[in-house]
Structure 1
């Protein structure tokens, strides 16, 4: 599998230009992307429908979906938490329908235990074991292939490992390395580490990789962009890192795919490793 995939979270920005959205995902595949990250709540199904239109039987592209939230058209936020076991099952069915498949290869359970974003309240506070039981049932039924976790704590990951965990998606970047111990645990257990917000800055509370003078210095010395440096650092930081940078722009897509060719010398690596990590894990509610 290529270490750089494509995350479809920004694809709905092209909602009124569907042809461009289709062309963008097609271009990603032409550039070597063989895994796509999506969710039913990305554009109220828009991302899934575009991916369904784009993919051909011979593309050999792994589609990774996530559940734990559902679309919420007209709400104060475009999504609502959906953490109860019956909601997880319903979300799997929604993704199956919009993607036009009878099996989802990998499904990430978005736990909302950590990282920037909303926190569950009321009946949305659900024990992890109950959720894993539902996910395991869905796997046994053949509706999902592998189970991943997102926004999970290290204690939650340890509890979940016996169920068989393929990947972990947490907010993580050069400037927000709170989960370093969890990354090492994933590497030891053969679990892929798939950082979201890999350049930080998605919320006001989060530092931005591209604000760092050290990142600009390394970028200038190599003739690449600060964003490329931030993504390349992730690839070179740990062998189990897979990237899913998202964009709605073809030029940015091509720049993201090019980061696999960037190589840091020892001095550049030391400069980047010395950048201070500052927590961005402030909940919105």
Structure 2
């Protein structure tokens, strides 16, 4: 899968899970283990590493630099700006152009990069015209500080409004086997040559229970339900580039191996019929 002119592979790594707790407020308690996961991801051929300035208040980006700097030539670093964290449970969009510039500059320092490969508007700020928010990223792109622009949790209309201001290379929306709210956004992104990067790609719920349809197909493939859910995403569209996160090297290896699975048409159809009722609501912002 390509993001603009960059080859990003088919499965990336979402570093958010490396935070110490479910609120993504603190850096990992076992820093050495988190560094090991990141390094193993690159050893396994993972090319896209995804973060945000809002994850552990910037410490997540620092962790990536600690683990991977100097970066391999084929590693694509993505991060996000445009969400503030005034409190442990708070995720507040802030899209003022001066703030986005400030945060991009801070991300460059923390990541030890001269240019950020993919920089997302983390959330659209309803208090600021979208054209102004994307325009700020466009200026950073013109200055060579970011290479490609991304958007997160947007509608088709917002995506097209943004694309009228500047080129957009990727969209990161919630999407998985049982939550397909953004089906139209995925199809629209694919139609226009954009990468669609689903967060929370491995949903949990009744469909994953023993004896459920996902477990049944997994057993047929000799795989785990998580691997099968990722395989469904990869089969869904060549534009899809999931970024499952984990704190475990074993689970990382399992996730990356999912790209070697091949679903039959019948298996894909059985999974495709799953109702979108078991949405993973652990986090409202990613």
For the aligned pair, the TM-score class normalised by the smaller chain equals 0.7 to 0.9
Residues of 1 paired with 2:59 and 2:33: CA distance? Answer: 13
Residues of 2 paired with 1:182 and 1:209: CA distance? Answer: 24
How far 1:20 sits from its partner (Å)? 1.1
> Equivalences for 1:77-92 in 2 at 5 Å?
77=89, 79-92=91-104
Could you list the structure 1 runs, at least 4 aligned residues long, displaced by more than 3 angstroms after superposition. Answer: 278-285
Structure 1 length as normaliser, TM-score?
0.87
The 1:108–1:258 alpha-carbon spacing in structure 2 relative to 1, beyond 3 Å, is same
Task: Give the equivalent residue in structure 1 for 2:23.
Answer: none
- Residue 43 of structure 1 aligns to a residue whose secondary structure is helix
How far 1:111 sits from its partner (Å)? 2.4
Residues of 1 paired with 2:278 and 2:155: CA distance? Answer: 14
- Residue 45 of structure 1 aligns to a residue whose secondary structure is helix
How far 1:69 sits from its partner (Å)? 1.0
Task: Give the equivalent residue in structure 2 for 1:17.
Answer: 30
* Residue 251 (1) aligns with residue 254 (2): no
Residues of 1 paired with 2:197 and 2:147: CA distance? Answer: 18
Structure 2 length as normaliser, TM-score?
0.86
Task: Give the equivalent residue in structure 1 for 2:199.
Answer: 196
Task: Answer yes or no: is the 8 Å Cα contact 2:207–2:213 preserved in 1.
Answer: no
* Residue 175 (1) aligns with residue 178 (2): yes
How far 1:279 sits from its partner (Å)? 8.4
> Equivalences for 1:1-285 in 2 at 5 Å?
1=7, 2-13=9-20, 15-55=28-68, 56-72=70-86, 75-77=87-89, 79-112=91-124, 125-162=127-164, 163-201=166-204, 210-211=208-209, 213-278=212-277, 280=279
User: Unaligned 5+ residue runs, structure 2?
Assistant: 1-6, 21-26
Q: How many residues align?
A: 268
* Cα-Cα RMSD: 2.3
How far 1:266 sits from its partner (Å)? 2.0
Task: Answer yes or no: is the 8 Å Cα contact 2:149–2:170 preserved in 1.
Answer: yes
The 1:161–1:218 alpha-carbon spacing in structure 2 relative to 1, beyond 3 Å, is same
Task: Answer yes or no: is the 8 Å Cα contact 1:166–1:191 preserved in 2.
Answer: yes
